[in-house]
Amino acid sequence: MGDSRATEKTAISPRREQDFPEWYQQVVRAAELAEPSDVRGCMVIRPWGFGIWENMQRHLDAMFRATGHRNAYFPLFIPLSYMQREAEHVEGFAKECAVVTHHRLETGADGKLGPAPSAELSEPLIVRPTSETIIGATYAKWVQSYRDLPILINQWCNVVRWEMRTRLFLRTSEFLWQEGHTVHETEAEAREETLRMLGVYETFVRDYCAIPVFSGSKSESERFPGAVETLCVEAMVQDRKAIQAGTSHFLGQNFSRASGIQFQTRDGKQEFGWTTSWGMSTRMVGTVIMMHADDDGAVLPPRIAPTHVVIIPVTPKEDTRAAVLEACDGLAAELRRARYADAPVEVEIDRRDLGGGIKNWDWIKKGVPLRVEIGPRDLQSGNVAVSRRDQPVKAKEFMPQKDFAARVPELLDTIQQNLFSRALEFRDRHTRVIDSRDEFYEFFTARNAAKPEIHGGFALAHWNGSRAVEEQIKNDLKVTIRCIPFGEAEPGRCIFTGERSARRVVWAKSY
Amino acid sequence: MGDSRATEKTAISPRREQDFPEWYQQVVRAAELAEPSDVRGCMVIRPWGFGIWENMQRHLDAMFRATGHRNAYFPLFIPLSYMQREAEHVEGFAKECAVVTHHRLETGADGKLGPAPSAELSEPLIVRPTSETIIGATYAKWVQSYRDLPILINQWCNVVRWEMRTRLFLRTSEFLWQEGHTVHETEAEAREETLRMLGVYETFVRDYCAIPVFSGSKSESERFPGAVETLCVEAMVQDRKAIQAGTSHFLGQNFSRASGIQFQTRDGKQEFGWTTSWGMSTRMVGTVIMMHADDDGAVLPPRIAPTHVVIIPVTPKEDTRAAVLEACDGLAAELRRARYADAPVEVEIDRRDLGGGIKNWDWIKKGVPLRVEIGPRDLQSGNVAVSRRDQPVKAKEFMPQKDFAARVPELLDTIQQNLFSRALEFRDRHTRVIDSRDEFYEFFTARNAAKPEIHGGFALAHWNGSRAVEEQIKNDLKVTIRCIPFGEAEPGRCIFTGERSARRVVWAKSY
């Protein structure tokens, strides 16, 4: 994707094509998005990375509100016994969680601080890996009658799923997310909600993160533990692997039965509520990087960038310094009066006492959409030098300063559109309709096994619906069904067994 | 405070004067702000209570940004050894914390789920009670030179301090807060920051929560464990006790020495950074309730209310129902175009299939600033019936519907001002300059020890600066020094010892 400059020096080393996983870590570090902490598996999200997440939160939250949801907050801890209420759920989550066993520390006989034996909890608590069970226990108290429904609540919080091998944003023991939890009177309403929230994610990922997705449902083996149906949006990033960008679960009555969420129906009977849950996490920040970044660092879609325009004063001589800085302040003030994505344009002036080249490269690596240099010569000409992050890093366009502020929203829109178009073109180029087992195996096999190599993509292929086939493919190729897409069915024959298939499904390697 | 209607039935029972602690719990429940959860000491913050916190966050966050701070996120867990790095700090926090000892559950021989013995952590982790130590470890990596300073970062997160006796919002094992953590080149800059953030809290509490405060510094015995100086804003609530509404700590070089935050100075030497931390929590939601609520429920300052105006359709007859609902929708749309406190006016139409009286009382209990009833007669007259929550619950003012939307921002401002004026008058009425030990003891002693009784308030009295005196007063009366106020010193004599005193300090019972 983008221009390949195999021989030219790039800001990030290694380049994508050399070692994609290492390139990713280097971009995250160079852009100052996040870094590992001393606590195993936990990351520090730095201000630039957190600013992206805050913008994601702001836009998603507005969409949740517009669809009738309100935010609330439930406990961090879940009693051990709650986890056991839903049989599949405990299987899925109990294996990788942080267990709180004591509520006090004390200095032992050896002079060392440790858990106080007298403060052992009678029932251990689990740090929430997801909140279906603890929220369900509360909803059971709130719901008595059909008049109490629907309950439409979302929570923004941290969750913990213990991980041994971690990767910044994509897989960490602690991460941030939102989890929506709703209860409905009928199955139809709950299914409609599940679909509605998937639609919110699809819109958000496309229109804000500039990433095209396939949406559909998961096969049984990839479902959320305890769900009747799991819907998802799946993106293809630059190593052609899939990342699940958001999921929405129809939980049927499984969790309401486990938690006792029961209500009196309109005709006076007792029934269990129909519940859903849906979530998107800080993994999305990593997805955006894997999708849009290049060999010079992050490339941020303007609608989620913490800063839209950085102004870099060029002050080679002391006698013109004050005038240059004044011009920068004036331009920043003017830009901040303009609006983009429902908020004022975010502008930063880089006043650091460093050379212009270093500053410029720092902002390239951070992926800020527009960079503007103002120096003594520009003051005379009345021009500013504008660089777009979606164009080659050395490209500059000179434009009259008086026009620039008015043009910024349009420039940002153009960049946003451009990133989406590139991503779509990339995905389509690496999505292949495959009708034979041999072609499928070849598609997912690196040509040179000795050398890391980006290959494969999304395969659209027929499948007989059997779990055994999924297992086989996973074992052979590490390829799984990412989703069973919505839309018109096209019947055919399973490429592995020759059996009937109702529709093509999306296969890929995945994160 | 407000009108005392000792004989009239009120929506909240008991009344404030009968049993203040129980009245508080009842208001929190009746207003659907929060409730206890099944997890010991943890609360569920319901949408209405969380909406208040979200508004607090929005306004505070804007003030943090305007003073140059950016948000970030640090790990939930702190390695045990980190807590021990600062000696006073571990003393203050190790005694009441959640300790994670295992990272997996498994089913034992007895068929029960429990912590897996094979998954015991080599070093236990503590769920953060506050983040100085874990953030300090990160800052130590970021800071090399004076050029890296200042670091101005804030974090919004959950923290856990184990509590046996809890009270919703005021004291719970888990709570939500923000914690700012900054590093500076010089002591003067760090002290200036400490004071600046106290000023932010003072402004926020006064202008958004409509609560007047005393600001000042804490005596040594009330300081944050590890701080050189703790500044605070202290509010008086309706039982005349003090609540600390926010604190700002000057940490000197204690934590930077403990964490190794060292930098090269402008003249090439190595020095430890000067750090500060400052925080405000969901306790503020409880403070607002204790300050402004009355015997009919919550009374919310408009600038932090989740909804400003509730429209209650009065639809006694089926044939006028559609017209009434249409008028409500029209008014809501008009109101949402108006702005208040930097955002659109928040409006809700209560469409529930319940009687008008029930609906009206629900909103009284929730404390929404303006209630508007629209019925068939109002359609004809062109009027709306408007009730203000800061006025007696049965008061109504009829005003032309066409003027109402335009008047709402002004009405909300009037309510906001009115709540502040009442709170100020209340505090001043119960703040007494005291010059003798006898008067001091009498002020803080209930007249009828057998019966709960609201008494005392803030005493402004001279003190010799000795910890022994503080201990004595605390033991005798449960009264402590809430703050040593800023402002001009007025020398005098300690009322307990007759020794010299530089200034009067604020004494009170407190939460």
User: Using one digit for the tens of pLDDT, what is the confidence trace for B420-441?
Assistant: 999 999 999 999 999 999 999 9
At residue A214, what are phi and psi to the nearest 5 degrees? -95, 130
Is the CB of A94 less than 8 angstroms away from the CB of B105? Answer: yes
3-state secondary structure of A5: coil
Q: Is the pLDDT of residue A1 over 70?
A: no
Q: What is the pLDDT of residues B255-272, one digit of tens each?
A: 999 999 999 999 999 999
Look-up of token digits 């989740």: B306
Looking at the complex, report in whole angstroms how far the Cα of residue B147 sits from the nearest Cα belonging to chain A: 9
Q: Nearest-CA neighbor of B197 among B215, B176, B185?
A: B215
List of chain B residues whose C-beta atoms are within 8 Å of the C-beta of residue A153? 47
Give residue A487's pLDDT: 83
Q: What is the pLDDT of residues A131-189, one digit of tens each?
A: 999 999 999 999 999 999 999 999 999 999 998 889 999 999 999 999 999 999 999 99
List of chain A residues whose C-beta atoms are within 8 Å of the C-beta of residue B35? 138, 141
Residues 6+ away with beta carbon under 8 Å from A17: A4, A6, A454
CB contacts < 8 A (A, B): 190
Q: Nearest-CA neighbor of B407 among B392, B388, B380?
A: B388
Which residue from B minimizes the CA distance to A46? B72
Six-digit token string for A123 = 């029932």
Q: What is the pLDDT of residues B118-136, one digit of tens each?
A: 999 999 999 999 999 999 9
CATH tag for A304-419 (out of 3.40.50.10490, 3.40.50.800, 1.20.1560.10, 3.40.50.720): 3.40.50.800
Is the CB of B42 less than 8 angstroms away from the CB of A75? Answer: yes
Residues 6+ away with beta carbon under 8 Å from B358: none
Q: Which residue has the higher pLDDT, B353 or B468?
A: B468
At residue A89, what are phi and psi to the nearest 5 degrees? -60, -45
Tell me what the pLDDT averaged over chain B comes to.
Answer: 94
3-state secondary structure of A378: helix
Q: Is some CB atom of chain A closer than 8 A to the CB atom of B473?
A: no
- Measuring CA to CA, how many Å separate B4 from each of A153, B7, B245, B296, B441? 38, 9, 27, 12, 28
Name the pLDDT band for B451 (thresholds 50, 70, 90): confident
Is the CB of B44 less than 8 angstroms away from the CB of A76? Answer: no
Residue B311 near residue B195, CB atoms below 8 Å: no
> B431-508 architecture in CATH?
2-Layer Sandwich (3.30)
Give residue A488's pLDDT: 82
Is the CB of A73 less than 8 angstroms away from the CB of B101? Answer: no
CA distance B310 to B337: 15
Q: Nearest-CA neighbor of B217 among B411, B508, B509, B506?
A: B506
Residues 175-234 of A with CB under 8 A from B: 176
Is the CB of A47 less than 8 angstroms away from the CB of B37? Answer: no
Cis peptide bond upstream of B376, omega within 30: no
Six-digit token string for B341 = 């406190």
CATH tag for B20-292 (out of 3.40.50.1980, 3.30.930.10, 2.60.15.10, 3.40.50.1360): 3.30.930.10
3-state secondary structure of B139: helix
Residues 24-63 of B with CB under 8 A from A: 35, 37-39, 42-47, 50-51, 53-54
Is the CB of B99 less than 8 angstroms away from the CB of A102? Answer: yes
Q: Is some CB atom of chain A closer than 8 A to the CB atom of B65?
A: no
Is the CB of B71 less than 8 angstroms away from the CB of A54? Answer: yes
Which residue from A minimizes the CA distance to B100? A100
Q: Using CB atoms, pick whichever of B39, B44, B95 lies closest to residue A77.
A: B39
Is the CB of B94 less than 8 angstroms away from the CB of A106? Answer: yes
Name the pLDDT band for A316 (thresholds 50, 70, 90): confident
Angle in degrees, CA A338, A342, A344, rounded to 5: 35
Q: State mean pLDDT over A211-216.
A: 96
Looking at the complex, report in whole angstroms how far the Cα of residue B339 sits from the nearest Cα belonging to chain A: 15
Which residue from B minimizes the CA distance to A115? B99
Q: Using CB atoms, pick whichever of A39, A54, A100 lies closest to residue B75.
A: A39
CA distance A443 to A447: 10
Hey, which residues does A294 pair with through a beta bridge?
A297
Give residue B131's pLDDT: 95
Q: Is the pLDDT of residue A112 over 90?
A: no
Name the pLDDT band for A86 (thresholds 50, 70, 90): confident
Residues 284-303 of A with CB under 8 A from B: none
Q: State mean pLDDT over A85-98.
A: 78
What top-level class would CATH report for the domain B307-414? alpha beta
Least confident of A447-456, B278-287, B412-421: A447-456
Q: What is the pLDDT of residues B367-409, one digit of tens each?
A: 999 999 999 998 889 999 999 999 999 999 999 998 999 999 9
Six-digit token string for A201 = 């994610």
Query: Within a 13 Å sphere around the CA of A473, how many CA atoms are in the beta-carbon half?
Result: 30
Give residue A275's pLDDT: 98
Q: State mean pLDDT over B475-484.
A: 97
Q: Is the pLDDT of residue B291 over 90?
A: yes
Six-digit token string for B369 = 């600033």
Is the CB of A75 less than 8 angstroms away from the CB of B162? Answer: no
Parse chain B into domains and list their residue ranges.
20-292, 307-414, 431-508
List of chain A residues whose C-beta atoms are within 8 Å of the C-beta of residue B44? 72-75, 138
**B336 φψ region: left (φ > 0), alpha (ψ -120 to 50), beta (else):** alpha
Q: Is some CB atom of chain B closer than 8 A to the CB atom of A65?
A: no
Interhelix angle B401-429/B318-337, nearest 10 degrees: 70
Number of neighbours of residue A279 by Cβ within 10 angstroms: 22
Q: Is the pLDDT of residue A94 over 90?
A: no
Q: Using CB atoms, pick whichever of A43, A72, A79 lies closest to residue B39.
A: A79
Q: What is the pLDDT of residues B194-228, one digit of tens each?
A: 999 999 999 999 999 999 999 999 999 999 989 99
Q: What is the pLDDT of residues B73-128, one digit of tens each?
A: 999 999 998 888 877 777 777 778 999 999 999 988 888 889 999 999 999 999 99
Q: Measure CA B256 to chain center.
A: 29
Q: Identify from A38, A122, A336, A366 which residue to disrupt to test chain B contact, counting B C-beta atoms within 10 A and taking the largest count.
A: A38
Q: Which residue has the higher pLDDT, B69 or B113?
A: B69
Percent of chain A at pLDDT exceeding 90 = 85
Give residue A7's pLDDT: 56
List of chain B residues whose C-beta atoms are within 8 Å of the C-beta of residue A46? 72
Give residue B111's pLDDT: 81
Give residue B7's pLDDT: 56
Percent of chain B at pLDDT exceeding 70 = 98
Q: What is the residue-wise DSSP string for A395-434?
A: --EEEEHHHHHHHHHHHHHHHHHHHHHHHHHHHHHTEEE-
Q: Is the pLDDT of residue B316 over 90?
A: no
Tell me what the pLDDT averaged over chain A comes to.
Answer: 94
Q: State mean pLDDT over A249-264.
A: 96
Residue B370 near residue B388, CB atoms below 8 Å: yes
Q: State mean pLDDT over A416-434.
A: 98
CA distance B251 to B273: 10
Please report the beta strands in B314-417, taking only residues with DSSP state E, as ranges in sequence order. Answer: 339-340, 343-344, 347-349, 370-374, 383-388, 397-400
Q: Is some CB atom of chain A closer than 8 A to the CB atom of B489?
A: no
Give residue B50's pLDDT: 98
Q: Is the pLDDT of residue B24 over 70?
A: yes
Q: Is some CB atom of chain B closer than 8 A to the CB atom of A140?
A: no
Q: State mean pLDDT over A361-389.
A: 95
Is the CB of A126 less than 8 angstroms away from the CB of B104? Answer: no
Looking at the complex, report in whole angstroms how far the Cα of residue A71 sits from the nearest Cα belonging to chain B: 6
Q: Number of helices and strands (H, E) in chain A?
A: 14, 29
Query: Would the ipTM clear 0.85, i.e. be above it?
Result: yes
Name the pLDDT band for A110 (thresholds 50, 70, 90): confident
Give residue B353's pLDDT: 82
Six-digit token string for A321 = 């310094």
Q: What is the residue-wise DSSP string for B88-124?
A: HHHHHHTTS--EEEES-EEE-TTS-EEE-GGGEEEEE
Least confident of A91-100, B160-169, B210-219: A91-100
